[in-house]
């Protein structure tokens, strides 16, 4: 009636540089000899192996293998670490990881003995007393096996009581085989299920000093510890079914509501795409719903009575919209627009010049490692020159600042400061981040956070222009296209400023239309001053150098002006050509006279 298990056994093997190769081979045989005497299996004894030196390496955990053949193959494949001897670190790993339920250890309430067999040949290079005490208090029985130079005091500090049964010190690795036989004898105990009437309804599991009852799959043990009841697998709410959980004996299956199908994970559901059947006949777009589909028209079109075809809707031509500059038809509505550099007023129709209006401006500056500290100071000065252009106040222009590298940080939101002096002081106190260049992540942060009402952006209904200025000196390490597009689609006017190794393709992707007016470039940080003027000219054209008048090229007056200018240029070129021809004729005549004089002298 002598049998082993069930047990949870973890070998903790010293593979430091002091263990020579042939000695490590003996340790392999030692482990395989012990495993050979065990009744291994998922419901019997489970075995794990870790090796350690200056670090800890998991060879296989308690849940990895359940046959001796697989375990022996893994043990034969171990490559020694050959470094220091951090025994305390290995005990810590065994306690926190190797004997965790996630790694295959049975729950403590099942009373399966947890046994750690530590084999070492030297003195630990870290502390073992405290961590070994913690491991023993956590229910781990520790056997400490020392070979040759092992320190007896350390072995006694690690082992479980009584020490005479848990501490072994042998003179050489060859003699470790004797311990293997002694350890096998300690694991051999009576089958308590056969020694007495256990009364278990399903199955009895023997332990070294007692037994406990287990139920077959699909059943749970009742409070009497002996009888079993069927498990309603859906009742505990952990089934993970998105829609419907159907319980079967000891198990469950997931089902979906009508109009949905079960995905490959057998838990989540996806709506049936009725549009994919190809029989919807929608002129523009087909929209699938749980019990069928419906047709939808693109923006600016109206669905007709047949619920399939669409017809254009141009409200700008059908109503007296009153827009000062331009009317843009939308689905079921319209909105007024103003030229670049002008703002839509509160009446939603009239336009005002930039100087008399206000904006919400967020500056997104590159703080990556390539910028360098001295250049970052120039960037901050560049930001403050832009602030000098603006009329900052709670009711006027608001300014926010974001810095990015491998991560994104809001230096101050739009509602933080209410004067240009406050902003400029805060800018000079910004600390350089360094690291990578995640421009796409910065654009995402700007769209989702910086222009939110929570951080001070005024509601869209107030018609306050939202302007984003991105400053960078190199290629982005992530994709920028999606969030550059989203920024512009959300109504943010995007300016892109590049310095040094900035990529023109990325700057153009960030910039709003017309692109040429919304991106700038400078060869180095010391020549960025002209970029401030470019920004001023584009955001407030009438305040730049000279007077910039923005007019529609299709207006009659504009066409006449274009024609007049073109004719003037052509006339100027013609006059220059006439003068050039006259000069050429005079030079030719002069050369002929010189030739005649030379011929006469000869």
pLDDT at 563: 59
What 57-64 contacts at long range (C-beta under 8 Å, 24+ apart), as own/partner pairs, is: 57/81, 58/93, 58/97, 58/98, 61/98, 61/103, 61/104, 62/8, 62/10, 62/98, 62/99, 62/103, 62/104, 62/105, 63/103, 63/104, 64/104
Is 315 domain-assigned? no
pLDDT at 458: 93
CA distance 508 to 518: 8
- Decide if 292 contacts 303 (C-beta within 8 A): no
**Domain presence at residue 513:** yes
What's the CA gap between 142 and 128, in Å, rounded? 12
How many domains does the structure of the chain reveal?
A: 2
Residue 524's pLDDT is 78
Flag whether 496 is in a domain: yes
Residue located via tokens 């030692």: 30
Over residues 180-195, the mean pLDDT reads 66
Q: Work out the widest C-alpha separation in the chain, in whole angstroms.
A: 148
Across 48-62, 94-108, 196-210, 562-576, least confident range: 562-576
Task: Tell me, yes or no, whether 167 lies in a domain.
Answer: yes
Residue 395's pLDDT is 87
Q: Is 479 helix (H, G, I), strand (E, B) or coil?
A: coil
How does strand 269-271 pair with strand 285-289? unpaired
* Residue 5, pLDDT score: 62
Task: Give the single-character DSSP code of 62.
Answer: T
Domain that holds residue 487: 360-539
The reported pLDDT for the residue numbered 46 is 93
Tell me: the pLDDT tens digits for 278-315? 788 899 899 988 888 899 988 767 888 899 988 787 77
Radius of gyration of the chain (CA): 41
Domain harbouring 445, CATH code: 3.40.50.410
With a cut of 60, say whether residue 541 has pLDDT above it: no
Q: Which of 539, 561, 592 is the last residue of a domain?
A: 539
Asked, for residue 276, whether it belongs to a domain, the answer is no
pLDDT digit string, tens, across residues 424-483: 999 999 999 988 999 999 999 999 999 999 999 999 888 889 999 999 988 999 999 999
Say how far apart CA 439 and CA 459 lie, in whole Å: 26
Structural domain ending residue among the three candidates 491, 520, 539 = 539
Query: Is residue 16 assigned to a domain?
Result: yes
pLDDT band at 573 (very low <50, low <70, confident <90, very high): low
| pLDDT band per the 50, 70, 90 thresholds, residue 517 | confident
Split at pLDDT 50, 70, 90, the class of 331 is: low
d(CA 375, CA 365): 12
Report H helices in 429-555.
439-445, 481-489, 504-510, 529-539
Residue 70 CA to residue 275 CA, distance in Å, equals: 52
Which range among 46-55, 91-100, 205-214, 298-307 shows the weakest confidence by mean pLDDT? 205-214
Given pLDDT bands bounded at 50, 70 and 90, which one contains residue 27? Answer: confident
pLDDT tens, residue by residue, 120-162: 988 899 999 999 999 999 999 999 988 878 889 999 999 999 8
Among 57, 54, 38, which Cα is nearest to 46's? 38
Residue pointed to by tokens 């036989």: 181
Judged by average pLDDT, the poorest of 451-455, 568-572, 580-584 is 568-572
How much of the chain exceeds pLDDT 90, in percent? 42
> In angstroms, rounded to a whole number, what is the distance separating the alpha carbons of residues 242 and 260?
11
Q: In 158-198, where do the E strands start and end?
A: 167-170, 189-190
**Is 407 inside a domain boundary?**
yes
Instruction: Tell whether the model's pLDDT for residue 369 goes beyond 80.
Output: yes
User: In the prediction, which pLDDT does 187 show?
Assistant: 63
Q: What confidence tens digit (pLDDT) does each residue in 59-77 have?
A: 999 999 999 999 999 999 9
Domain boundary among 156, 171, 187: 187
The strand pair at 360-366 and 466-472 is best described as: parallel
- For residues 519 and 502, what is the distance between their CA atoms, to the nearest angstrom? 11
In tens, the pLDDT along 226-265 reads 999 888 878 877 788 999 998 877 688 999 998 899 999 9
Burial (CB count <10 Å: 0-12, 13-18, 19+), residue 270: exposed
Q: How much is the pLDDT for 413?
A: 96
48-62, 166-180, 442-456: least confidently modelled range: 166-180
368-405: b (≥16 Cβ within 10 Å) or e: bebbeeebbebbbbbbbbbbebbebeeeebbbbbbbbb
Q: Give dist(CA 326, CA 142) in Å, integer.
A: 83
> Phi and psi (nearest 5°) for 220?
-125, 150
Pairing of strands 398-404, 408-412: antiparallel
Domain membership flag for residue 174: yes
Q: Check pLDDT > 60 for residue 544.
A: no
pLDDT tens profile 472-515: 988 999 999 999 999 999 999 999 998 888 888 999 999 999 88
Q: Tokens in use for 313? A: 């809707």
Mean pLDDT of 379-404: 89
């Amino acid at each position: 009636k002598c049998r082993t298990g069930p047990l949870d056994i973890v070998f903790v093997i010293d593979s430091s540089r002091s263990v020579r190769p042939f000695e490590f081979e003996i340790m392999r045989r030692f482990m395989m000899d012990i495993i050979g005497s065990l009744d291994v299996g998922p419901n019997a004894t489970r075995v794990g192996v870790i090796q350690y030196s200056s670090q800890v390496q998991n060879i296989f955990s308690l849940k990895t293998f359940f046959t001796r053949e697989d375990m022996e193959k893994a043990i034969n494949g171990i490559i020694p670490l050959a470094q220091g001897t951090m025994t305390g670190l290995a005990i810590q790993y065994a306690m926190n990881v190797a004997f965790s339920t996630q790694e295959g250890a049975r729950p403590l309430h099942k009373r399966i003995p947890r046994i750690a067999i530590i084999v070492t040949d030297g003195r630990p290079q870290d502390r073992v007393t405290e961590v070994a005490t913690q491991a023993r208090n956590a229910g781990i029985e520790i056997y400490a096996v020392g070979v040759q130079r092992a320190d007896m005091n350390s072995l006694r500090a690690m082992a479980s009581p009584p020490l005479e049964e848990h501490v072994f010190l042998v003179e050489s690795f060859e003699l470790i085989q004797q311990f293997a036989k002694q350890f096998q004898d300690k694991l051999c105990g009576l089958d308590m299920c056969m020694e007495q009437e256990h009364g278990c309804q399903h199955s009895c599991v023997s332990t070294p000093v007692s037994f406990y009852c287990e139920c077959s799959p699909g059943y749970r043990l009742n409070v009497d510890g002996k009888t079993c009841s069927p498990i309603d697998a859906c009742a505990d709410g952990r089934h993970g079914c998105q829609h419907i959980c159907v319980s079967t004996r000891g198990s469950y299956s997931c089902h979906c509501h009508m109009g949905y199908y079960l995905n490959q994970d057998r838990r989540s559901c996806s709506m049936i795409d009725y549009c994919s059947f190809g029989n919807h006949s929608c002129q523009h777009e087909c929209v699938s719903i749980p019990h069928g589909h419906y047709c939808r028209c693109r923006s600016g079109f109206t669905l007709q009575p047949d619920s399939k075809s669409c017809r254009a809707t141009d409200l700008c031509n059908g109503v007296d919209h009153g827009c000062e500059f331009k009317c843009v038809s939308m689905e079921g509505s319209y909105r007024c627009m103003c030229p670049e550099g002008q703002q839509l007023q509160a009446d939603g129709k009239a336009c005002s010049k930039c100087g008399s209006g206000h904006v919400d401006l967020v500056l997104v500056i590159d703080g990556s490692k390539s910028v360098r500290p001295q250049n970052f100071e120039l960037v901050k000065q560049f930001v403050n020159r832009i602030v000098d252009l603006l009329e900052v106040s709670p009711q006027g222009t608001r300014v926010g600042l974001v810095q990015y590298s491998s991560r994104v940080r809001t230096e101050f939101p739009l509602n933080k400061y209410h004067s240009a002096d406050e902003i400029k002081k805060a800018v000079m106190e910004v600390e350089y981040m360094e690291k990578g260049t995640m421009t796409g992540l910065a654009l995402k942060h700007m769209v989702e956070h910086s222009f939110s009402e929570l951080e001070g952006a005024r509601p869209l209904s107030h018609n306050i222009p939202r302007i984003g200025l991105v400053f960078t000196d190199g290629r982005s390490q992530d994709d920028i296209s999606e969030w550059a597009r989203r920024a512009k689609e959300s109504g943010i006017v995007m300016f892109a400023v590049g310095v040094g190794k900035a990529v023109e393709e990325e700057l153009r992707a960030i910039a709003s239309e017309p692109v040429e007016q919304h991106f700038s470039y400078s060869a180095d940080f010391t020549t960025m001053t002209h970029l401030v003027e470019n920004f001023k000219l584009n955001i407030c054209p009438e305040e730049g150098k000279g007077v910039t008048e923005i007019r529609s090229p299709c207006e009659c007056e504009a066409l006449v002006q274009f024609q007049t200018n073109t004719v003037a240029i052509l006339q100027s070129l013609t006059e220059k050509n006439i003068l050039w021809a006259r000069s050429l004729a005079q030079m030719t005549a002069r050369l002929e006279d010189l030739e005649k004089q030379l011929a006469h002298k000869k």
